[in-house]
Amino acid sequence: MTAPLFFSAPYSRLRAFSARLQQGRAAALLSALAGGLGVLSFAPLEHFWIMPFLLALLFHFLRSAENWRQAAWRATLFGLGLFLAGVSWVYVSMYVYGGLSMVMAALPTLLLCFVLAIGHPALGGLFHYYMPETPGRQALFYAGLWLSIELLRGWLFTGFPWLALGYSQTPPSPLAGFAPILGVYGVSFFTALMSACLVCGSRKRLGYWLAALCILLSGWGLRHYAWTEPAGDPVRVALIQGNVAQGQKWLPENFLYTLNLYRDLIAQHPAQLTILPETAIPVFYDRIDRDYLRELKSLAMRENGNLVMGVLTRSDAKTYWNSAVSLGVAPSQAYSKSHLVPFGEYAPFGFDWLLNIPMASFSSAPVRQSPLVLGDQKVAINICFEDLFGHTLAAPLPEATLLVNMSNTAWFGRSLAQSQQLQIARMRALETGRVMLRATNTGMTAVITPDGVVQDVLPQFTIGVLTATVRGYAGVTPYILWGDGGALLLVLLSFYVSLALPARASVVACRA
């Protein structure tokens, strides 16, 4: 097997260095380190170019493993390193706001990281067990396995697709161009495929490096194609960021302060569409003073517009939802959250006793809900965690012309959560070819253009209002048409080509 050439050292030294890295303990430690370093490719740093090299390193370690068990262990360590570093913000909600001790808060955080990495042993073990003979098929098989475990993670236990590889490739990465066609999972596939091609290439196998270059150039070219077009008149929007501390939000003595804060911010920034954050009004909708609601409606109607506020709704004492309710010129409409945050909005089975968080037992609303008709725009609402699910956001499209995310990540303090979620929202804008408006409590309130670029953003942990003029968009991207079905087809094709074509599959029987 020809040694990989993705470092700039002399070839002879590279071979010696590679041989040392293949030793069991060194490879295991470097796999864990590579996974942890993967967080550098995600927000807030967004060094997108790092991820392909880390994936290339893992691919090399899987190919050089002595048996499938060793390969499974290396892949597992990579996954654990990535998630322990990348979703550490879950610990903040458990420790700071959940009232748990440091040890007890670490328990569900560690458990979540192990659950998120549940597919990585299969990735490493299956890759080595069924490793094709030719480098090209190995690269395709590797990419298909990555895509498989990410699709599984986006579905298993209602799904938690945080830190999918594709999110590390938001603009300016050339690979972002694949998002409108195959979504974030398709971007993950091509990221892994390009990484493997880097390893397969050598001085005698330049074709693999050319293949990696073709992937980059194809993505770059697709980034310059406009899948949707502006529709309707420009809309003046005001996105409210209240910065109400989570520890103070539900205290009765702060209730009037919160009401007055949002009323004053709305009054000072007239707009045709005003968006408040998730659960901005910390009380059930039916308990809000009617005079206050009439005042908000009057403020919204000054510009012949509408206001959407985050609030709790309920049908009885035990059934309540995290909702968005509109007031203004249009008839009042509502949207309720369907995908809930584990350990934040509900306790997974068997962990009810762990949480001591106010309003932590929400009900789940239906996934398919109609967009809100506000003026000449049809607004598809998603609340906080829901913007992780591209196929869900695509459900009201192409009818909807604007996407709106209402979030409150104050639960997670000064952590990576805010910037990571903004990056996720950028991917949703890319997939759908729509403007994404984000109104958040503590950050990051932003306007995102259909090409996934942040037009403007408010500083975190400040009180402010982000005003902008935006356009609704009409039309369809391929992702709107087939959702994650395209990524699933890509899995099947990659496995067929790498393992079953031609009829006599060239598979190495590494059955140690």
- DSSP string covering 333-390: -EEE--SPPBTTTBPPTT-GGG---TT--PPPPPS--PPEEETTEEEEEEEGGGGG-H
Sheet of strand 454-457: strand arrangement: 372-374, 377-383, 402-407, 436-440, 446-448, 454-457
- As given in the structure block, the two tokens for residue 352 are 């009810």
If DSSP codes are grouped into helix, strand and coil, which group holds residue 313?
strand
Q: Judge contact between 74 and 65, C-beta under 8 A.
A: yes
Alpha-carbon distance 447 to 241, whole Å?
13
Q: What distance in Å separates the CA atoms of residue 86 and residue 188, rounded to the nearest whole number?
A: 17
Phi, psi values for residue 132, rounded to 5°: -65, 165
Q: Which helix (H) or strand (E) holds 446?
A: strand 446-448
Residue 364 makes CB contacts below 8 A (sequence gap 6+) with 337, 338, 339, 340
Catalytic residue among 278, 345, 386, 431: 278
Catalytic pick among 113, 200, 384, 431: 384
Which two three-digit tokens encode residue 319? 């059934």
**Cα dihedral across residues 311, 315, 321, 326: positive or negative:** negative
What does the longest C-alpha to C-alpha distance in the chain come to? Answer: 79
Query: Does the active-site annotation cover 278?
Result: yes
Give catalytic status of residue 150 as yes or no: no
The CA distance from 437 to 283, in Å, is 24
456, two tokens: 């403007």
Q: Which residue has the tokens 């879950």?
A: 90
Does the annotation count 337 as an active-site position? yes
Tokens at residue 365, please? 């609303």
Task: Characterize 12-45 residue by residue with b for buried, 16 or more Cβ atoms within 10 angstroms of its Cβ, and e for exposed.
Answer: eebeeebeeeeeeeebbebbbebbbbbbbbbbee
Please identify every residue annotated as catalytic.
Answer: 278, 337, 384
